[in-house]
């Protein structure tokens, strides 16, 4: 009995001991946790608690202007009315704002749910649209509303609690001289998730509603134009109501971008590009008897000494105001519609064209730097090799002529023979190790086949065909060509069986030996056809280098970044890419030949009546054949004296006919405006400013005479003799299809 009681007592003592140990362990754990929270990490939690009492309100900055060379605004801001919603006030209502949202939706022509979606706070699982700013900040729901809509909200506040009508700024395109310049300027759209994440990683303030530059100068110089938003730190109570302002940093407005674009010349260039297109469509193609389609075109004006872009236009184009306030799905589809010519694409620096005979300046440079002289060459009606015949334009023949005269009359057969001889020197079909390929090498030296580096996004590089390029293309396309050689082009055969048969024959040839650089490739490339493609900007840059004495400049539109009160932030000086590998004698010969082309050669009709004794002109025509399409019109010219020719104008019109017949008159008109000839005051140094515009300290732009709307005269008739513009044909070896 005693033993049983003893065992029971022992068990009780053991249980009590375990309980004591457990209680002590729990107390020790609690004390340790309290020490960790209050001592070790106390400051962290105190900081977090303080942060919960402060909210950040962001005030967007006013975006900077884009100005022309005289300070005329190409893009600025205008005052507008907008509607914003204070979520706290809206949701405090008895129905949590349902009636207010319904009235707002009816006024704005939308749905209550659409507005509600814009007001919800962004979170990982919350779909767009949503608001990623502070809940204390009024949330914009409608920009650029009508005065009546704003007054309805302001005067009937009891019907719209929490809704605020106030001033706002939106992007504006003043369009001096009624210019367009859409492809140069670009547009704005809300920040993307990637941009928001990037800004957060850099410690920058950016919200989903912030507008960011897209395309054109708006994108390239966005960091300067956007400015810095203001940040206000607001202390709030436990339910989130604002109590006081802790800190306030005002917004810093964006800087202005001064460009080299001259509004008057830009408007003239756009007008004359339109005239060239109309001129082409008024003419009939001799090959198919149909009017020229002139489906796209571009013109570029460069300052040859600095590489600055004075004007640049492309067609088809679009109204830049279509982006203001957000673009609709329908409008965006129209801008990217291939059937409409893809108006969003700038042909000036993104379009790639066969340069035709304007390429002969490159070929001539290669000739003179590789042992060929300026003496006598045979300008026969055709050049034949291996069963292929490469003809001169309409079988023209001038007999034995000098190289200068060959350029002036654009004799193709002279350049065919030289290119064939160069091809043979390199070993022909079985090339020597490291072939010289003088023409392609010189083209690359002139910057062709690579981006120019212009300060605009999305530039196309063009293409120069040589042995390496042919092999690379064959490696990528061999399987496709062989499949096409077998299956043909059924999608084309229904509408154009002849073209389908031709394409299949080309595919069969390429399947077998499409990697070989054949004599036909070399011959046709010498006159700017086959696989050679350039942008109008690249073409203008080539001739600018010839005009300025051999310096290849990097094209640039931005001249300087200045503060709103006129202080210089960043100078954007001219950029030298490199010197051309050509001698002074070669450049002098080219200048002499191009001047002869403008005065007594294929370009002469465009400069009839021009004051050559005051302002000499230099030019080259080109009419490039593209399989399956009408000929591409090419014309490039420069003029000026003093320390050297000043301005270069290059124009290309797809399916536009001859160089001098379509583009020549318009290029001459642009040069007239550049040198004051159109005003009866010819100035060999040009009429454009060389200094930056002076912006007043109070932010006002320079006092300028009001811009007038330029008249749009009817397109002049094609000049007589336009046939002699250097059209290239090749019977027995059709040029490679290009776009």
Q: What is the CATH number of domain 63-254?
A: 3.90.1310.10
What mean pLDDT do residues 615-641 have?
93
What is the DSSP code string of 534-590?
B-HHHHHHHHHHHHTTSEEEEPB-EEEEE-TTS-EEEE---EEEEE-S--HHHHHHH
Cα separations in angstroms, 356 against 314, 635, 735: 19, 10, 11
**Residue 20 structure tokens:** 């004591």
Percent of the chain with pLDDT over 70: 86
Predicted confidence at residue 25, as pLDDT, reads 77
pLDDT above 60 for 60: yes
pLDDT tens-digit series, residues 238-267 = 555 566 666 677 878 899 999 999 999 999
- What is the total residue count of the chain? 739
Predicted confidence at residue 698, as pLDDT, reads 65
pLDDT above 80 for 702: no
CA angle (80 as vertex; 76, 86 as ends), nearest 5: 125
HSE-CB at 733 with a 13 A cutoff on CA atoms is 21
Could you tell me which of 721, 733, 723 has the C-alpha nearest to residue 394? 723
So where are the chain's domains? 63-254, 467-516
pLDDT tens-digit series, residues 326-354 = 677 788 888 888 888 899 999 999 999 99
What is the DSSP code string of 244-312?
EEEEEE--BPPPEEEES--HHHHHHHHHHHHHHHHHHHTSB-TTTSSB----EEEEEEEETTT-BEEEE
Instruction: Indicate the pLDDT class of residue 590, thresholds 50, 70 and 90.
Output: very high
pLDDT above 60 for 575: yes
pLDDT tens-digit series, residues 266-303 = 999 999 999 999 999 999 988 888 999 999 999 999 99
Q: Is the pTM of this model over 0.85?
A: no
Percent of the chain with pLDDT over 90: 48
Which range in 72-86, 481-495, 550-564 is most confidently predicted, on average pLDDT?
Answer: 550-564
Instruction: Indicate the pLDDT class of residue 168, thresholds 50, 70 and 90.
Output: confident
CA 718/CA 99 separation, integer angstroms: 67
pLDDT above 70 for 394: no
pLDDT tens-digit series, residues 416-453 = 999 999 999 999 999 999 999 999 999 999 999 999 99
Instruction: Indicate the pLDDT class of residue 45, thresholds 50, 70 and 90.
Output: low
Instruction: Indicate the pLDDT class of residue 135, thresholds 50, 70 and 90.
Output: low
Q: Which DSSP helix (H) or strand (E) runs through 217?
A: helix 216-220
Between 475 and 28, residue with greater pLDDT: 475
Instruction: Indicate the pLDDT class of residue 405, thresholds 50, 70 and 90.
Output: very high
pLDDT above 50 for 731: no
Our measurement of the distance from residue 33's CA atom to the centroid of its chain's CA atoms, rounded to an integer in Å, reads 61
Our measurement of the distance from residue 671's CA atom to the centroid of its chain's CA atoms, rounded to an integer in Å, reads 24
Could you tell me which of 408, 406, 410 has the C-alpha nearest to residue 376? 406
Predicted confidence at residue 739, as pLDDT, reads 31
pLDDT above 60 for 722: no
Q: How would you write 411-430 as a 3-class SS string?
A: CHHHHHHHHHHHHHHCCCCC
Predicted confidence at residue 540, as pLDDT, reads 98
pLDDT tens-digit series, residues 96-121 = 788 888 888 888 888 888 888 887 77
Between 560 and 288, residue with greater pLDDT: 560
CA 546/CA 687 separation, integer angstroms: 22
Which range in 19-28, 63-72, 136-145 is most confidently predicted, on average pLDDT?
Answer: 63-72
Q: Are 401 and 376 in contact (CB under 8 A)?
A: yes
Q: Compute the mean pLDDT over every residue in the chain, rounded to the nearest whole number.
A: 85
**Residue 105 structure tokens:** 């939706």
CA 251/CA 253 separation, integer angstroms: 6
Query: For tokens 């065919």, what's the residue?
Result: 416
Instruction: Indicate the pLDDT class of residue 737, thresholds 50, 70 and 90.
Output: very low
Residue 530: DSSP 8-state? T
CA 271/CA 267 separation, integer angstroms: 6
Between 611 and 60, residue with greater pLDDT: 611
**Is the Cα dihedral 425, 431, 432, 438 positive or negative?**
positive
pLDDT above 90 for 304: yes
User: Three-class SS of residue 382?
Assistant: strand
What mean pLDDT do residues 495-516 have?
88
């Amino acid at each position: 009995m005693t033993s049983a009681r003893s065992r029971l007592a022992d068990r009780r003592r053991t249980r009590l001991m375990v309980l004591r140990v457990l209680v002590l362990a729990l107390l020790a754990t609690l004390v340790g946790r309290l020490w960790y929270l209050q001592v070790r990490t106390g400051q962290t939690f105190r900081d977090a608690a303080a942060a919960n009492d402060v909210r950040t309100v962001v005030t967007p900055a006013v975006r900077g202007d884009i100005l022309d060379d005289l300070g005329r605004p190409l893009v600025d801001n205008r005052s507008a009315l907008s509607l914003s919603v204070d979520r706290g006030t809206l949701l405090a209502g008895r129905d949590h704002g349902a009636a207010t949202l319904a009235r707002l939706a009816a006024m704005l022509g939308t749905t209550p749910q659409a507005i509600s979606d814009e007001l919800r706070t962004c979170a990982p699982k919350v779909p767009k649209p949503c608001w990623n700013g502070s809940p204390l900040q009024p949330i914009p729901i409608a920009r650029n509303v009508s005065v009546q809509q704003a007054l309805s909200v302001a005067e009937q506040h009891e019907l719209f609690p929490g809704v605020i009508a106030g001033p706002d700024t939106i992007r504006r395109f003043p369009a001096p001289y009624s210019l367009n310049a859409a492809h140069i300027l670009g547009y704005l759209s809300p920040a993307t998730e990637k941009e928001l994440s990037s800004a957060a990683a850099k410690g920058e303030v950016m919200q989903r509603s912030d507008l960011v530059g897209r395309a054109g100068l708006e994108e390239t110089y966005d960091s300067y134009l956007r400015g810095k938003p203001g940040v206000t730190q607001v202390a709030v109570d436990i339910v989130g109501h604002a109590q006081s302002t802790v800190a306030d940093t005002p917004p810093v407005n964006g800087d202005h971008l001064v460009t080299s674009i001259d509004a008057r010349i830009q408007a003239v260039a756009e007008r004359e590009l339109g005239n060239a297109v109309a001129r082409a469509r008024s003419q009939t193609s001799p090959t198919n008897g149909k009017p020229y389609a002139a489906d796209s075109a571009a013109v570029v004006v460069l300052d040859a000494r600095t590489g600055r872009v004075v004007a640049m236009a492309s067609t088809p184009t679009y109204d830049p105001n279509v982006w203001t306030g957000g673009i609709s799905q329908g409008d965006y589809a129209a801008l990217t519609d291939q059937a409409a010519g893809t108006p969003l694409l700038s042909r000036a620096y993104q379009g790639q064209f066969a340069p035709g005979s304007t390429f002969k300046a490159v070929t001539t440079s290669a000739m003179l730097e590789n042992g060929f002289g300026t003496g006598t060459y045979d300008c026969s009606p055709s050049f034949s090799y291996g069963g292929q015949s490469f003809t001169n334009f309409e079988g023209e023949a001038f007999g034995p002529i000098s190289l200068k005269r060959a350029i002036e009359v654009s004799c193709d057969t002279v350049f065919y023979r030289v290119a064939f001889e160069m091809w043979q020197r390199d070993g022909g079909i079985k090339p020597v190790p490291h072939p010289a390929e003088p023409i392609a090498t010189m083209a690359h030296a002139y910057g062709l086949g690579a981006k120019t580096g212009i300060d605009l996004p999305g530039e196309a590089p063009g293409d120069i065909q040589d042995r390496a390029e042919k092999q690379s293309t064959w490696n990528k396309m061999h399987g496709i060509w062989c499949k096409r050689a077998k299956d043909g082009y059924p999608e084309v055969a229904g509408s154009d069986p002849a073209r389908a048969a031709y394409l299949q024959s080309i595919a069969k040839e390429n399947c077998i030996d499409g990697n070989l650089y054949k004599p036909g490739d070399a011959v046709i490339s010498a006159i700017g056809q086959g696989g050679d493609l350039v942008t109008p900007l690249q073409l203008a840059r080539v001739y600018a280098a010839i005009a300025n004495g051999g310096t290849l400049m990097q094209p640039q539109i931005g001249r300087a970044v200045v503060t709103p009160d006129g202080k210089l932030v960043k100078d954007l000086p001219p950029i030298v890419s490199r010197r051309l590998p050509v001698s002074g004698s070669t450049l002098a010969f080219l200048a002499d030949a191009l001047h002869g082309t403008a005065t007594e050669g294929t370009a002469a009709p465009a400069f009839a009546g021009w004051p050559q004794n005051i302002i000499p002109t230099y030019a080259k025509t080109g009419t490039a054949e593209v399989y399956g399409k009408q000929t591409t019109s090419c014309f490039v010219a420069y003029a000026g004296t003093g320390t050297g020719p000043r301005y270069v104008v290059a124009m290309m019109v797809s399916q536009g006919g001859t160089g001098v017949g379509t583009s020549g008159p318009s290029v001459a008109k642009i040069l007239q405006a550049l040198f004051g000839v159109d005003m009866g005051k010819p100035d060999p140094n040009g009429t454009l400013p060389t200094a930056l515009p002076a912006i007043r300290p109070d932010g006002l732009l320079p006092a300028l005479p009001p811009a007038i709307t330029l008249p749009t005269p009817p397109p002049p008739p094609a000049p007589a003799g336009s046939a002699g513009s250097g059209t290239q044909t090749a019977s027995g070896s059709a040029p490679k299809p290009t776009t």
